Amino acid sequence: MKKAAAALLVLVALIGAAMFWLSGNIDGLIRSAIADYGSAMTQAKVSVGAVKIAPVDGKGTLADIFIGNPAGFRTAHAMKVGRIDVDIDIASIARDVVLIRRIAIVAPDVNYEMGSAMTNFDAIQKNIAGYLGPAGSGKEQGGIKLIVEELTIRQARAQASAAFTGGKTVSVTLPDITLKNIGKAKGGITPGELGQHVAGALKAKLAASVNFDKLLQSGSGAAGKAGTAVKGLFK
């Protein structure tokens, strides 16, 4: 009985030490994970300036997030965000499925660029899909899973451009986006799948607001007429 009690005390101490280490290092872990896995998945530079998560209640902020463009695109980035607010169920970080109560992406600066064959957001989604691989065989299988109860993107502004607009851009204000219970029906999704959800939601709003095909098919896309033809980007 004494040996069993001693073993139990050691186990409790180890669990307590692990939780203390994890809570103290969660900021760095999240920052590194976003930069490393984000860059690998999108095949573009991804960086985070700072992460601050309160270990007591899991509420915090990600600052200065940068998502570059895949190769072949000219604009400086796909998206820059000064602030993302998060609310994590801190007790779930030691489990197989991490519960994120809220992600709020505030005032992102988006470049929506038409390349030679697709837009930059199409390319990002394609790269993430290639990273994930077929269902059940991707690089993230067996790793951490996420459930996000609410994800919002608000006050987003986009600059739309294409090679045939002669360097002209159009400013677009996007409607706010709200996604609920992401991954809940599947018992959790991988970070890459969450990235697909976010990129897909943004792309849908961008595609609904900007019409590259209309401008190109109008025959007004020549560089000399780009100043007026660019108005055809709007749907």
The Cα 235–Cα 232 span in angstroms is 7
Amino acid at 126: K
Number of Cα atoms under 13 Å in the Cβ half of residue 19: 14
**pLDDT bracket for residue 46 (50, 70, 90):** very high
Average pLDDT taken over every residue of the chain: 80
**pLDDT bracket for residue 25 (50, 70, 90):** low
List C-alpha distances in Å: 213 to 115, 169, 210, 223: 12, 15, 9, 16
**pLDDT bracket for residue 32 (50, 70, 90):** confident
Residue % of the chain over a pLDDT of 70? 75
Given this model, what pLDDT does residue 219 score?
47
Q: Which of 188, 101, 108, 120 is nearest to 154 (CA)?
A: 108
Given this model, what pLDDT does residue 165 score?
72
* Higher pLDDT among residues 20 and 185, named by residue: 185
> Once rounded to an integer, what is the mean pLDDT over residues 115-137?
85
Choice among 2-16, 61-75, 133-147 with the minimum mean pLDDT: 2-16
Pairing label, strands 79-88, 109-114: antiparallel
Q: Is the pTM of this model over 0.85?
A: no
**pLDDT bracket for residue 10 (50, 70, 90):** low
pLDDT over threshold 50, residue 8: no
For 197-225, the pLDDT digits (tens) are 888 999 899 888 887 776 565 544 444 44
**pLDDT bracket for residue 120 (50, 70, 90):** very high
pLDDT over threshold 60, residue 22: no
Given this model, what pLDDT does residue 107 score?
93
Alpha-carbon Rg of the chain, whole angstroms? Answer: 21
